[in-house]
Amino acid sequence: MEKLIGRVRAAIEKYQMIEEGDRIAVGVSGGKDSLFLLCALASLSKYYPKHFTVTAITADPRFGDHDTDFSQVEALCASLEIPYRIKRTDLGTLIFEDRKEPNPCSLCARMRRGILHNLCVEEGIGKLALGHHFDDAAQTFLMNLLYGGKLGCFSPKTYLSRKGITVIRPLLFCEERELQNAAARMGLPTVKSGCPADGVTARKDTEELLAQWEKTFPDLRAKIIGAMQRAGLDGW
């Protein structure tokens, strides 16, 4: 875990993600990435030179019209002495039953982020940390190129002027494989997604495409990240 926390700290310092006195909400989905991020920031908050506090927040889509069981995440937050708030929503019903969205992932992600943004505002929290990692960044760049015909990616740090909050992504230097191994070693209580589209998304297709291309072009993900950094693309 120490090695990955070092990478989290490197990303935070490179992109100046944390300032003295920050209150940071971690958007917890129940997946390995957001749970590791929660633990990493909780650990870092104990000795980082700039004092900050951590809160966990979750937007439950309630797929199948059922509350998702986050009891183990609640227990983890209690053990870390971190406040935890869950917002139950009707996103699952709205997207899959009412609107019957043929491509639900983008809309669902935007709406969940909007709910997290509003939770931050309600709690008076100025920064929201999301669990996007190294692989997510490379995949997003390719998805924008292949599906949207544009060069772009999410930014390491983004100020949302309408909400008055800053979104940060401290896991950008951590690879998914490493996060998966760390989560398993730490015994993190991951929550299986109840989403009907889980595992059959454009992102999953892009992940498989990248893995195939890396057999011919070694370190392709690192080259994509490096190219975005050298070009200064979207704040990289």
Closest CA to 138 of 66, 208, 38: 208
What band does 194 get if pLDDT is binned at 50, 70 and 90?
A: confident
Q: Where are the alpha helices (DSSP H) in the chain?
A: 2-14, 32-44, 71-80, 91-93, 104-123, 134-148, 176-186, 202-213, 220-231
- Give the span between the Cα atoms of 173 and 135, in whole angstroms: 9
Domains of the chain: residue spans and CATH: 2-235 (3.40.50.620)
Exposed e or buried b per residue across 59-90, where buried means at least 16 C-beta atoms within 10 angstroms of its C-beta: bbbbbeeeebebeebeebbeebebebebeeee
**Which residue has 């929503």 as its token pair?**
89
Exposed e or buried b per residue across 179-204, where buried means at least 16 C-beta atoms within 10 angstroms of its C-beta: beebbeeeebebbeeebebeeebebe
- Give the span between the Cα atoms of 145 and 151, in whole angstroms: 6
Q: If you average pLDDT over every residue of the chain, what do you get?
A: 93
Task: Read off φ and ψ for residue 108, nearest 5 degrees.
Answer: -60, -45
Closest CA to 77 of 123, 124, 28, 117: 28
Question: Is the pLDDT score of 235 beyond 90?
Answer: yes
* Global confidence as pTM: 0.93
pLDDT for 99:
72
pLDDT for 95:
80
pLDDT for 228:
98
pLDDT for 193:
78
Closest CA to 223 of 156, 132, 131, 141: 141
pLDDT tens digit sequence for 31-74? 999 999 999 999 999 999 999 999 999 999 888 788 999 999 99
Contact (CB, 8 A) for 83 and 122: no
Question: Is the pLDDT score of 197 beyond 90?
Answer: no
pLDDT for 155:
97
pLDDT tens digit sequence for 104-160? 777 888 888 999 999 999 999 999 999 999 999 999 999 999 999 999 999 999 999
| Cα angle 182-186-189, degrees, rounded to a multiple of 5 | 105
pLDDT for 71:
96
pLDDT for 133:
97
Question: Is the pLDDT score of 199 beyond 70?
Answer: no
How far from 33 is each of 39, 136, 183, CA to CA, in Å? Answer: 10, 11, 8
Question: Is the pLDDT score of 7 beyond 80?
Answer: yes
- Give the span between the Cα atoms of 235 and 62, in whole angstroms: 34
Q: What are the tokens at 223? A: 């080259």
Closest CA to 39 of 193, 187, 194, 157: 187
Closest CA to 201 of 153, 144, 143, 151: 143
What band does 200 get if pLDDT is binned at 50, 70 and 90?
A: low
Question: Is the pLDDT score of 192 beyond 90?
Answer: no
pLDDT for 65:
81
